[in-house]
Structure 1
Amino acid sequence: MKSLVYIIYFIAVLIGAQESVAISHTKSSTIIGDNIIGIDNFGTIFYTKGSTIYKKDKDTTISYNNLQLGKLTTVNSFNPLKINVFYQELNTVIILDNRLAEIFKIDFNTIDNYKNVSHISTGYDNTIWLFNQDTQLLEVFDYKTRSTKAQTFKPIDSPILDLESNYNYAYLLTEHELLVYNYFGSSVKTLKNEGYTEIAEVNEHLYFKKGDNLFYLAEDSKTIIPVKTNNILISQFFVTNETLYIYNDETLQEFQIKK
C-alpha cells in the first residue's frame, strides 16, 4: 500500500514539474526605439530613444527629455498619470503627468535626509519605492512631504537586480532571492533566485527572465513554472493583463498568454 502511495506521489510530482504556461503569437509591429517602457490597456506605447521618452497612441506622439539631468536610468509607467523618471547619475527623480509634463522633481542630494538611490518604482498615492544604497534598505518615500513613510527592517546585503511594484507590494529581485514587501515594509514572501535577472509584475502575478527564457509565478503560489517561448530571442519583455510583449531589434511581438 505504501509503495502505491509513493508511486502516485511521484507521478503527481512529475506532472506538476511539467506544468507550463503556453503563449500564441498574435501580431508584430515595428517601433524605432531603444527601450519599450510599457503598453497600456488602450494600446498606448511608452518607449525611449536616447534620453527622450515617447508616448504614442493611434493619433499622436508626444515626448519628454531633460538634457540637464543626463542619461535616463529607468522609466516606470505603471501609473500613467504619475510616470516616474529616474536619473541615477544625478540622484534625481522626475514625476510626469499623462501629457509628459513635469509635475514634481525630487533631488535626493538636496533633501534634509540625504539618500543615495539606486532603484525606484511606483508606490501608492504620492509615494515611490526606492532602494537606499547607504542604508541598504527599501523605503516608501512620499515625494510631496519629502519624508519616508515606511522602510524594510533588515538591510539587504545581496546586489539588487530589479525592482517592480504596484500600489500594495514591492518585488525586489536580488542575486540570491526574490523579496516581497507590503507598503508597511514588512516581508510577506521570500523565494530563492534560480538565476533570474529581471521581473515583471501584473495584477500581483510575476514573470521572470533567465537568459532567453521566461517563467511565471502565480500570486498565491511559491512554484515558478516555465513559459513556452520556443527559444525566441528576448531583449526586453513586459506583460499587460493577459498579453506578453517581447521586443528585439525594433520588432515588438505580441503574444496571448494561455494559462
Structure 2
Amino acid sequence: MKHLTYIIFLFTLSIFSQETIEAALIKKTWLDAEHLVSVNNFGTTFYVNNNILHKTQEDKTLTYSNLQLGNLSSANTFNPLKINLFYKDFNTLIILDNRLSEIFKIDFNAISNYKNVSHTSTGHDNTVWIFNQDNQKLELFDYKSKTSRAHAQPIQSEVLDLKSNFNYCWLLTKNQLYTYNYFGSLIKNINNDNYTSIAVDNENLILKKDNTLFYLNKNDKQPVRILLPNLIINQFFVINETLYIYSQKTLYEFHLKIT
C-alpha cells in the first residue's frame, strides 16, 4: 500500500509540478529599433529601422534596403547564410547571404504558376515555406527550380503566423495550430486559444496571447504560462531556452527554468 501511495504521489507531482515556468532575468540592453528580428549566440543582432535591415556585431553594421519593393513585411534569419526578406505588397521574396548581399529574388507574380503569398518562412536546402492565399495551402517552394516540392491540405481559417526550422513548419491560424514535417504532412494540430504569434526553440514553441507568453513542449498539447515582469512585448524569440523580449527600446534576456 505504501508503494502504491508513493507512485500516486509521484504521478500527481509530475502533472502539477510545472503549471508555470519562471524566467530569470540575465541582462537588459538598450536598442533603438523599430522592429527587432533576432539575436544569435554570437551576439549578432538583426533589426529593422526605416525599412532597412541592419546586422550589427561588435560595433560593425551591415545594411540592406530595397525601396522599390515597398515596406518590408517580414524578415527571417533562421539560416544566416540564406536570410529571407518578404515584401508582401509586391509579392516578392529576397534571399540574402551573410554579408546582406542579394543572391536570389523570387517574384511570385512572374513565375508560370502564379502564387499570391501572405506568409513565408525558411525551409531546408533551397526552399521556403509559403502560404498561398488563392488556394489556402501551405507549400514548400523551391526557389531555384521555381516549383513546389510539397503541398498541405487547404486551411479554412485565417492565418496569423508561420514559423519553421529545417525539419518542421508551424502554421498558426485563428482556430488551430498545425505542425508539419518537411514533406508537408500534417503530424499534429491543437486548438488555438486566442494565441496571435509564435516563436520556435528547436521543436518547442513560445506562444503569445495578449501581452502574455506561454511555453509549449513538443510532446505536450497544453501550453504553460511563463512568469514575466510587467513588460510591453513588442517582439520575442527564443534560443536554447533563452528568451529574448524587445520592449520599448530595451532588449531583455531571460533564462527559462524548464524542468
TM category, shorter: over 0.9
Is the 1:150–1:185 Cα contact (8 Å) retained in structure 2? yes
| 1:178-224 residue CA offsets vs partner (Å, 9 max, x unmatched) | 00111111100101101110100011110000111110111222221
* Partner Cα separation in structure 1 for residue 65 and residue 124 of structure 2: 25
1:162 pairs with 2:146: no
| 1:212-253 residue CA offsets vs partner (Å, 9 max, x unmatched) | 111011122222111111332212111111211111111111
1:86 pairs with 2:75: no
Q: Please name the residue that 2:187 is paired with.
A: 188
Provide the alpha-carbon RMSD of the alignment. 1.9
* Partner Cα separation in structure 1 for residue 231 and residue 247 of structure 2: 10
Residue ranges of structure 1 left out of the alignment (5+ in a row): none
Q: How many angstroms does 1:16 deviate by?
A: 2.3
Q: Helix, strand or coil for the counterpart of 1:25?
A: strand
Is the 2:232–2:248 Cα contact (8 Å) retained in structure 1? no
Q: Name the count of aligned residue pairs.
A: 253
Question: TM-score if structure 2 supplies the norm length?
Answer: 0.93
* Partner Cα separation in structure 1 for residue 198 and residue 216 of structure 2: 10
Q: Please name the residue that 2:59 is paired with.
A: 59
Q: Please name the residue that 2:110 is paired with.
A: 110
| 1:60-81 residue CA offsets vs partner (Å, 9 max, x unmatched) | 0110000111100000000000
Percent identity of equivalent pairs:
52
More displaced stretch, 120-129 vs 181-190:
181-190
| 1:93-150 residue CA offsets vs partner (Å, 9 max, x unmatched) | 0000000000000000000000000000000000000000001000000000000000
More displaced stretch, 217-226 vs 98-107:
217-226
Q: Which amino acid aligns with 2:159?
A: I
Q: Which amino acid aligns with 1:103?
A: I
* Partner Cα separation in structure 1 for residue 78 and residue 86 of structure 2: 14
| 1:7-53 residue CA offsets vs partner (Å, 9 max, x unmatched) | x69x9399528622111111111111111111111010000012100
Q: Please name the residue that 1:223 is paired with.
A: 222
* Partner Cα separation in structure 2 for residue 60 and residue 18 of structure 1: 42
* Partner Cα separation in structure 1 for residue 35 and residue 239 of structure 2: 16
* Partner Cα separation in structure 2 for residue 63 and residue 226 of structure 1: 36
Q: Please identify runs of 4+ aligned residues in structure 1 that moved more than 4 A.
A: none
Q: 1:18 to 1:203 in 2, by over 3 A?
A: closer
Residue ranges of structure 2 left out of the alignment (5+ in a row): none
